Structure 1
């Protein structure tokens, strides 16, 4: 009789296979590790690779230089280092622009400290009338494109040295000297008018955090005012002052529009315009060395700022009560002080805007008897070759506006989503090395001046490298570079937003069976919509008036509003260039106002009492 035996169970899968299946099931519900690896690869290629490429170009001989260097293209060489630092033209290529950059930076810092610091003290520590209005009005200059002030300066002071239509004073028979029309003085003044809001905001916020009781206690103990300022106020203000100084220097280092507009007629070069000229001359190796120098200076500036902040952490006041904000009584000087603040607002906002507006409405500069709308609406302009009609006629302005809205808009959306995903991986991820890499590399573009990062990106994407085709001249490259350069702000915002969001909502959804994408779409993104909106709108506003980043990456088919205005300056069409800048300023100011209303915030919140 046959005996039926029970079939033996199948043998368990090997341990390695079971671990792999378990990890796949985990990744299916929580793919944070995979997302982190993808973000690491993307940032490594878009942030780190351009810097590596530009350093490689600095030490590899480029085509066309083999005769001078005595080597073959592609070979390792120190020719470009010698040319920039030791050759007979090194003064023109590097040392003179470096000295000019230092002069402009120092002058701009002093201007911004005097104006911004003085206004911050007046608004936060005195009983000047209209404090709230002054607090909002004095940050408006930063909402305007930086070269708005330089074009207004040219409209007023331009002489016949640069060709084209002369300025208002020259048209009235007053010969303006070259040192007043072009060069370091106008560059320092116009950049100072644009950047003093940085000092105003940083110093103003620091002054509000100083408890007035500390100063009162010192005076009660018999300390004179100079001792109070030296021993109490100054140490507490050092972090804000050092940050303001280094921030302004870093901005001036990478700015392009103002030194180009006001320095080019006098052949006054700084590092940013020297880099631009090297790229236009197709001196790739020289441009790579200059880019490396600008990057190193920018990184050193930020590291110095971080070191100073750590050093100044010992100047911290801790108390259980809120700080007392006692205002100094200006007495009879209250209204003169308000008048001074109003004059600074008029000089930094009203005068430049009105100057550009009247210039675009008159055939002879500021001569109201020659009022015309031709530069805005005319079908044809006599004598104009490259732009023979008003800005609202033809397709140039509309094409540039569409390119700006499309490119900047897409870059802003990518920037905001990427910033939130980086924040998600950094906060939720279980791999500390990946989190540290994303945190540091996403902040790296902040350390690099814009024009230097654009040059590095051009070095990487100008030619085909492996499976990646040449992207120069495409909108895709502009979108990528704009998104990456604004990533530091969105990534920090995303990290802060995700830190404030607990795990409970996601865990509850996961228990209910929601996969990772459903949790992101239905929980994380809706809860963080405020951070997403801010991460989109702020890069959008900044990108609309951006010139340093895009000036070397745009071509005829990808021209933006900012590059269109600079192109009109090159043609000598002053009124048309001024009109385009007014369009940019109007869009930028409107978007800034709508953003503040949407987010219920203000750049100067708290400064005006």
Structure 2
């Protein structure tokens, strides 16, 4: 009991009242801080992201430190096996990464310069075509390359050129060179998009001022254009490097037949033959390699001087006249675009109709599409639309795409809402970092992480390997960054005042989210969902380790058919995946209606 000395003026009673009110206020503040809806939502989102993203990666690392698993590290890094297990695949991976990054920056930068800064003819068409190759799965381009250049070194069908009588050398048919070319053809769109956006910010007044002082084209390029585009060049190189080192499809189709291994293919092989611990070690090392170069690229960008090119004064758009070089440069640009977009699709369609790759444009037949089983053709394989396994795979693939589009968009919406409405604080920072962590993790390594986490029972929970649920959870976690990015872009356009007004009237979080935010942002959210749909439908790296005969997917079946020598079936399946991907991507772009400065006059 608190005794208050008597006071004629009542100051003791007043002091007691102040103490009690202060204590109650502190209790309310404590309660509000830890039980407020905003903090509760942050905590729930953080727990969800930790379970989806961080837990699988921690499980992989923990699996390599378990009793009896330590030897996997020494086997991979310092044993008689390490040369073939790690060092040679690492060298091949680094060559691919560096070569693809260099080639993509050169090709993408060249096309971006033409489209944005010159008077090249049909620049809008070139700009559109330059963005399409990334829509085409890398395994589609690899299959098209094989249909053209495959020789008889590994047996099976020969390609179109060898069928015409040309002798295709081994270095052009298999191994490092074709893998490099295919990956450059697939990833240069990334570099083009990033660099074109940067070049579009170059103020023509700066260029004109330099010209008036007598500066030549070389000096203008090195002194004005290159510094402005440098961050985009580094970003493009980092993104394409990371994509190349983590790509599984192209090295598997063009390198494995001649025993050219990368970290991604070696990781797949280790887990396929039951050496999971070694595979997990390779997964960790692959993550570190990819993450290091992305981090290094960000450091280069963040550590450079700032070159401000956008001011309050409007800049005029002026394009350099190419003069006599206008037509040759257009032919060069058009050739690159056609060879990387139109030609692969034409070859895939022709190969799915021709009896053999050596005769692509003769004796076409729809057997490989709708034909019944015939022992005289393809060892009795029925056409893809008469094959129950392929029909099942089509349903599973589309169902997976729709389910993941919804689940990833929902998770991305929650994360984006938290980050858009509350950017400060430890929890917000942790949510932001974890939500974008999958961008640093190659798809095949992420798939391995989920095999480690959910491939075996966890307490009373059964193993999920071979189930549709595992595919959904893994794909949702892997594609969360894309959904978050789209969600943030659209939610930030919805004023927070609307949400605050609804909250003051007593509306709960879910009511505010689905009655106000979602309807206003539905167009952008739908576009983001379509992008997620496309990515999972055409993905091979993530799902190749999660594939089982009971849960087939089109991309993995296409890879399996190609590996087994059924080229026509593989190409037909790839055309199906391609049609779905391109149609959904174009629809997503239409919904987003993003302005592309290099396509505007």
Alignment of 1:7-406 (within 5 A): 23=31, 31-60=37-66, 74-75=67-68, 78-365=70-357, 366-382=359-375, 388-406=381-399
- The C-alpha deviation readout for 1:415-463, integer Å capped at 9, x for no partner, is 1111111122233359822211111100111111111111112111111
C-alpha separation in 2, matches of 1:457 and 1:386: 36
- The C-alpha deviation readout for 1:51-97, integer Å capped at 9, x for no partner, is 1111122222xxxxxxxxxxxxx34x541221111111111011101
The equivalent of 2:543 in structure 1 is: 550
The equivalent of 2:573 in structure 1 is: 580
C-alpha separation in 2, matches of 1:276 and 1:436: 34
| 1:111/1:516 CA distance change after superposition, 3 Å | closer
Q: Is the 8 A contact 1:124 1:608 kept in 2?
A: no
- Tell me which moved more, 302-311 or 542-551: 302-311
- The C-alpha deviation readout for 1:314-356, integer Å capped at 9, x for no partner, is 2223522123322111223333332222222221122111111
**How many angstroms does 1:103 deviate by?**
1.4
The equivalent of 2:482 in structure 1 is: 489
TM-score, normalised to structure 1, is 0.90
Q: Is the 8 A contact 1:59 1:285 kept in 2?
A: no
- Tell me which moved more, 471-480 or 591-600: 591-600
- Tell me which moved more, 321-330 or 551-560: 321-330
**How many angstroms does 1:383 deviate by?**
5.1
| 1:437/1:199 CA distance change after superposition, 3 Å | same
- Tell me which moved more, 138-147 or 523-532: 523-532
In structure 2, which of residues 395, 403, 406 is the aligned counterpart of residue 410 of structure 1? Answer: 403
- Tell me which moved more, 510-519 or 542-551: 510-519
Q: What is the RMSD of the two structures over their aligned residues, measured on CA atoms?
A: 2.5
**How many angstroms does 1:394 deviate by?**
2.3
3-state SS in 2 of match to 1:557: coil
- Tell me which moved more, 519-528 or 133-142: 519-528
**How many angstroms does 1:14 deviate by?**
14
C-alpha separation in 1, matches of 2:591 and 2:97: 35
C-alpha separation in 1, matches of 2:26 and 2:228: 60
The equivalent of 1:435 in structure 2 is: 428
| 1:24/1:324 CA distance change after superposition, 3 Å | closer
Q: Is the 8 A contact 2:33 2:39 kept in 1?
A: no
Q: Which ranges in structure 2 are unaligned for 5 or more consecutive residues?
A: 1-19
- The C-alpha deviation readout for 1:341-396, integer Å capped at 9, x for no partner, is 22222211221111111111111333544221111111014356787101111222
Q: Is the 8 A contact 2:456 2:464 kept in 1?
A: yes
3-state SS in 2 of match to 1:500: coil
Alignment of 1:413-562 (within 5 A): 413-429=406-422, 432-562=425-555
**How many angstroms does 1:161 deviate by?**
2.2
| 1:132/1:78 CA distance change after superposition, 3 Å | same
- Tell me, yes or no, if structure 1 residue 593 matches structure 2 residue 599: no
TM-score, normalised to structure 2, is 0.91
| 1:85/1:572 CA distance change after superposition, 3 Å | same
**How many angstroms does 1:171 deviate by?**
2.4
3-state SS in 2 of match to 1:342: helix
- Tell me which moved more, 303-312 or 125-134: 303-312
Equivalences, count: 581
